Structure 1
Amino acid sequence: MSQALFILWRESAEALLIVGILHAWLRQQPETAARLRWLWVGVAAGIGLALLLAAALLGLLRQLPESALDYAQLGMMLLAAGLIVQMVAWMRRQGGQLRQALQAEVDARAGPGIAVLAALAIAREGAETVVFLYGLGLEQTSAGELALTVLLGLGLAAASYWLLQQGGRWLQWRHFFRLSETLLLLLGGALLIGALEKLTMLGWLPTLVDELWDSSWLLDDASRAGNLLASFTGYRAHPALSPLLGLALYWLLVAYYLLPARRAVR
Structure 2
Amino acid sequence: MFKIALVVFRECLEISLLLGVILAVTKQIEKSRLYIIAGVMLGVVFASIFAFFTRKLSLSFGGIGDELFNSGIMILITILISWTIIWMQGYGVKVKQHINDLSVKIHEGNASYFMLVFLVATTILRESAEIIILVYSISSVETISSSIYLQGVIIGATSGFLLGIVIYFGLIKIANQKYIFKISTILLMLIAGGFAASAAGILTSSGLIMFLSDQLWDSSWLVADRSMVGKILHIVTGYIARPNGLQVLAYFTTILLINIFIQIKLRYSKNTSILLQK
Contact 2:74 2:126 in 1 (8 A): yes
For 2:104, the equivalent position in structure 1 comes to 104
**Residues 144-175 of structure 1 deviation map (CA, whole Å, 9 limit, x = unaligned):** 233555566567767877x6xxxxxx744331
Contact 2:43 2:120 in 1 (8 A): no
Q: TM-score, normalised by structure 1?
A: 0.67
2:64 matches 1:75? no
Q: TM-score, normalised by structure 2?
A: 0.65
1:8 maps to a residue whose letter is: L
Select 1:88's aligned residue among 76, 85, 103: 85
Deviation of 1:83 after TM superposition, in Å, equals: 1.0
**Residues 94-122 of structure 1 deviation map (CA, whole Å, 9 limit, x = unaligned):** 114245564126899xxxxxxxx6xx887
2:52 matches 1:63? yes
2:21 maps to a residue whose letter is: R
Provide the rounded CA distance (Å) in 2 between the counterparts of 1:183 and 1:193: 15
For 1:258, the equivalent position in structure 2 comes to 262
Select 1:176's aligned residue among 171, 180, 184: 180
1:3 maps to a residue whose letter is: E
For 1:133, the equivalent position in structure 2 comes to 124
For 1:54, the equivalent position in structure 2 comes to 43
Provide the rounded CA distance (Å) in 2 between the counterparts of 1:199 and 1:63: 24
**Residues 201-243 of structure 1 deviation map (CA, whole Å, 9 limit, x = unaligned):** 2212115352222333333333332332233323333222222
Contact 2:197 2:238 in 1 (8 A): yes
Q: Which runs of 5+ in 1 are unaligned?
A: 22-41, 109-116, 164-169
Contact 1:186 1:233 in 2 (8 A): yes
Provide the rounded CA distance (Å) in 2 between the counterparts of 1:234 and 1:15: 22
Contact 2:217 2:242 in 1 (8 A): yes
1:199 maps to a residue whose letter is: L
Q: Which runs of 5+ in 2 are unaligned?
A: 1-9, 59-64, 133-151, 271-278
Higher relative contact order (CA closer than 8 Å, sequence separation 6+): 2
- Sequence identity percentage: 22
Q: 1:96 to 1:151 in 2, by over 3 A?
A: farther
For 1:28, the equivalent position in structure 2 comes to none
Contact 1:47 1:123 in 2 (8 A): no
Q: 1:126 to 1:214 in 2, by over 3 A?
A: same
Contact 1:207 1:240 in 2 (8 A): no
Q: Which secondary structure state, in structure 2, belongs to the residue aligned with residue 179 of structure 1? A: helix
For 1:233, the equivalent position in structure 2 comes to 237
Provide the rounded CA distance (Å) in 2 between the counterparts of 1:125 and 1:151: 23
Provide the rounded CA distance (Å) in 1 between the counterparts of 2:202 and 2:106: 45
Q: 1:101 to 1:125 in 2, by over 3 A?
A: farther
Select 2:30's aligned residue among 3, 12, 19: 19
Provide the rounded CA distance (Å) in 2 between the counterparts of 1:188 and 1:214: 22
Provide the rounded CA distance (Å) in 1 between the counterparts of 2:255 and 2:247: 13
2:103 maps to a residue whose letter is: Q
**Size of the alignment, in residue pairs?**
227
RMSD: 3.7
Q: Which secondary structure state, in structure 1, belongs to the residue aligned with residue 28 of structure 2? A: helix
Deviation of 1:91 after TM superposition, in Å, equals: 0.6
Q: Which secondary structure state, in structure 2, belongs to the residue aligned with residue 19 of structure 1? A: coil
For 1:35, the equivalent position in structure 2 comes to none
Q: 1:147 to 1:55 in 2, by over 3 A?
A: same
Q: 1:94 to 1:101 in 2, by over 3 A?
A: farther
2:218 matches 1:218? no
